[in-house]
């Protein structure tokens, strides 16, 4: 990354009524923080859980980020990723024009995550009783 | 696995109206087939897309599987995984009592998938423009 940039990371998940639902997503954040302690990272939810994407984006802007990668923590790109998220991002762009908001593909579309899911499936199938 | 077992794999995803939504899930199946060509594997959906879990389970039973690992391709364990899926599995157990249906944790709860998501996030954040 360029020395003139202060990047940030906004992880966007669906959210659910059960607080335990968010544990794997919180674990992703912990792992990112362990590997990149200086990188501001915020986990936001579409519904049911705070913060929403507006609040998460405001936090990253307040932290001085001028380039934020927005990564949908979804396995497939359905309506939430293809419609809801771009609309929410348009609001962030309007509220914080000094920040470059870069929408990334859904995390489940990456070869790395696809390979990991296949690995978990094969391990389940070959496990002993 | 024991020589007396014929295992199968049932991957269970949410489904969506857009056919492209299923591409990452189909890629997981392809990768499993490439690594374990003899393992019967079927991808089933909760809604919007065929096959449902009943049809998928029937296919695996017809293929002679006597032990089927059911892996939810969900990132978090919400209502679909904690309520809908056990109810659907109870029907499969009743319809095919000769098969041991083993419900696995949601794929997103595994350390392997959590690490993969963190990896993708860090890569996005450190990528050059």
Q: How much is the ipTM here?
A: 0.95
Q: What is the mean pLDDT of residues A52-78?
A: 97
State the Cα–Cα distance between residues A104 and B118, nearest whole angstrom: 14
CB contact at 8 A, B19 and B50: no
Per CB-CB distance under 8 Å, the chain B contacts of A74 are 75
Query: Can you give the pLDDT at residue B3?
Result: 55
Query: Can you give the pLDDT at residue B124?
Result: 95
- Band (pLDDT 50/70/90 cuts) for residue A129 is low
Query: Can you give the pLDDT at residue B101?
Result: 97
- Band (pLDDT 50/70/90 cuts) for residue A127 is confident
Q: Which of residues 42-61 of A touch B (CB under 8 A)?
A: none
Contact B129 A21 (CB under 8 A): no
Query: Can you give the pLDDT at residue A5?
Result: 85
Query: Can you give the pLDDT at residue A3?
Result: 55
State the Cα–Cα distance between residues B93 and A114, nearest whole angstrom: 29
Query: Can you give the pLDDT at residue B92?
Result: 97
Please tell me if residue B38 touches chain A, with a CB cutoff of 8 Å.
no
Query: Can you give the pLDDT at residue A126?
Result: 82
Give the Å distances, CA to CA, from B49 to A70, A75, B17, B21. 28, 16, 7, 10
Crossing angle for the helix pair B111-126 and A111-126, to the nearest 10 degrees = 170
Across chain A, mean pLDDT equals 94
Query: Can you give the pLDDT at residue B128?
Result: 59
Environment class of residue B62 by beta-carbon count within 10 Å: exposed (0-12), middle (13-18) or buried (19+)?
Answer: exposed
Query: Can you give the pLDDT at residue B116?
Result: 98
CB contact at 8 A, B73 and B107: yes
pLDDT lower than 50: segments of chain B: 1-2
Please tell me if residue B84 touches chain A, with a CB cutoff of 8 Å.
no
pTM above 0.90, yes or no: yes
Using CB atoms, pick whichever of A28, A41, A128 lies closest to residue B117: A28
Contact B121 A78 (CB under 8 A): no
- Better-scored residue on pLDDT, A35 or B128: A35
């Amino acid at each position: 990354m360029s020395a003139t940039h202060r990047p940030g990371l906004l992880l966007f998940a669906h959210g659910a009524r059960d607080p335990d639902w968010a544990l794997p997503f919180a674990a992703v954040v912990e792992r990112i923080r362990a590997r990149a302690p200086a990188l501001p990272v915020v986990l936001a939810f579409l519904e049911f859980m705070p913060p929403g994407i507006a609040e998460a984006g405001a936090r990253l802007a307040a932290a001085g980020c001028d380039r934020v990668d927005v990564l949908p923590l979804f396995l497939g790109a359905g309506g939430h990723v293809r419609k809801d998220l771009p609309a929410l991002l348009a609001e962030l762009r309007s509220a914080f024009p000094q920040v470059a908001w870069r929408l990334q593909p859904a995390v489940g579309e990456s070869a790395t995550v696809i390979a990991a899911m296949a690995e978990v499936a094969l391990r389940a199938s070959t496990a002993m009783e």
